[in-house]
Chain A
């Protein structure tokens, strides 16, 4: 039983980080289709940082920065230049796939995986992943910045009229989302002691699904991450038995989220100004 719980937490860690980030950005009004890209960049940067820096910690630092850089691109495009947030998010994901493969190829002569790098710190990162959800919850619900964040996401015009810089709040939120999602990718790379091509394998989208399924409320989002990770644990533990095909178990997060979006079992309502420019 304890073994199962530990397995679920371990599987949930990348989701928890990325979904915590996604919640922050979406609460501020920025659509987070790029979570997958931030994670992938984070995983790649973590492996490079760990390889060239020679320690897990340089890996963690670079991983967070890798996610932050891609998120900053999304932020500059959508906040400064008012780019369409959906299209920009798609571009970020394509950029991340291309850039990480290109970097692998140039640095290691292979576009599929890096050599073995120093890794580990998994336990610490697992705890940090869980804490990130609580931290995001505390910041959103209990701080002045959280209030501004929600104002930017719900009523940007009203926020602007009381002197809040919606652009600045959103910029901070989107970079924070990149750092968090980057750490999710970092966990993957350091846990496996290497970066491999597209190693995030859609986890950023599962995290996005968790944000929506959790109705943009941090604690609910965290619970959704654990639920989706439990489904994944089920899939892994069922492997070899023919009870349910693994593909059907893998569909669970997506199907649950579609059902929630359609309002069949209580509707998920996004922040009012999600995806709209603040000025």
Chain B
């Protein structure tokens, strides 16, 4: 109940700041919010775009939440997402044309998970074995990994005059508009189902397995967990690796479902917003999916109101919501 209240308080604060911004540029809040809802949940294309954006955010939200359950802060979802997308895009190019499509898709999803897992395993190992603060290492590694991918793509793999790799054909996932014609033009694709499965599996792992029990024990009290025979270092490495894999799979949404190539910078802050999604969703799979939809609505809604109010209002409101969440999720000291 208290959790729900704090999320509502955040939404309310965002609404107040939003009103002030809208009035500040001389528009009517009622009219702007009407447009925002109409451009998202009010028509099929807008709704499909919300689904598309929520898909990536669900993956990054899960990646942050899983680590959070173990008492770790994963600020590296941005780079893990990029690594996953890159791995999927690279494998897509390498797969032989004759491979059956389902096999190719699964192979690319596994590649995305493995790419992200590498990005998670590094800070996990640095934390567990060298005691390096994971908040700082994941922030710094974001830069290192994104610079590295930028070099790989721009120096070796890009299509001339672009910052993306060549497109592939085997391993792609169909868009939802293939089944629901009203979604025509939207990037929403079948990886939304993968996101739902990932949320369910993550929930099962955390709440129904021995590993999940150990993970939560380490998150609540590493000392008590150790006394009970759990090895916190091992749990931390495993958790960060899994978290990275989850964020990495998020890369399939853009790479397998939308563009069919890896593009430098495609993550666009989805890893950072994943932190907000995980916190607003109280690190629970269902909460994460709802929070992902909410943040996706804000982001897509920004585009719908751009004629009246600069779309950057959505960024400001995201910041306000996260600040409110920060206040609600008081320190554990």
Contact = CB atoms under 8 A, between A and B. Distances in A.
B141 A102 contact: no
A18 to B, nearest CB: 15
B298 to A, nearest CB: 11
Contact of A101 (B21, B141, B312): B312
Contact of B147 (A73, A85, A87, A247): A247
B132 A258 contact: yes
A268 to B, nearest CB: 9
A94 B318 contact: yes
B130 A98 contact: no
A102 B310 contact: yes
A95 B323 contact: yes
Contacts of B325: 87, 91
Nearest to A250: B147
B126 A102 contact: no
Interface stretch (A76-84, A143-151, A163-171, A222-230): A76-84
B25 interface: yes
A88 B21 contact: no
Interface stretch (B50-58, B148-156, B157-165, B175-183): B148-156
Chain A CB within 10 A, most for which of B147, B151, B155, B312 = B312
A85 B332 CA distance: 11
A88 B323 contact: yes
Contacts of A255: 140, 144
A276 to B, nearest CB: 4
A90 B318 contact: no
B136 A261 contact: yes
Given A94-B322, A95-B320, A261-B126, A87 B329 contact: yes
Interface residues of B, number: 47
Given A33-B139, A248-B151, A98 B326 contact: no
B144 A81 contact: no
A101 B311 CA distance: 9
Interface string B252-285: 0000000000000000010010011001000000
Interface in B125-141: 126, 130-133, 135-137, 139-141
B73 interface: yes
B103 interface: no
Contacts of A99: 312, 316, 319
Residue picked from A77, A102, A250, A251, most chain B C-beta under 10 Å: A102
A254 B327 contact: no
A277 interface: yes
A78 B333 CA distance: 12
Contacts of B330: 81-84, 277
B202 to A, nearest CB: 21
A64 interface: no
Nearest to A74: B323
B75 interface: yes
A276 B333 contact: yes
B315 interface: yes
Contacts of A247: 147-148, 150-151
Given A247-B150, A254-B144, A262-B126, A98 B323 contact: no
B130 A91 contact: no
Interface of A: 33, 73, 77-78, 81-88, 90-92, 94-99, 101-102, 105-106, 111, 202, 205, 208-209, 212, 245, 247-248, 250-251, 254-255, 257-258, 261-264, 267, 270, 275-277
Nearest 7 pairs of A and B residues by beta carbon: A98-B315, A95-B319, A87-B326, A98-B316, A91-B322, A262-B130, A247-B151
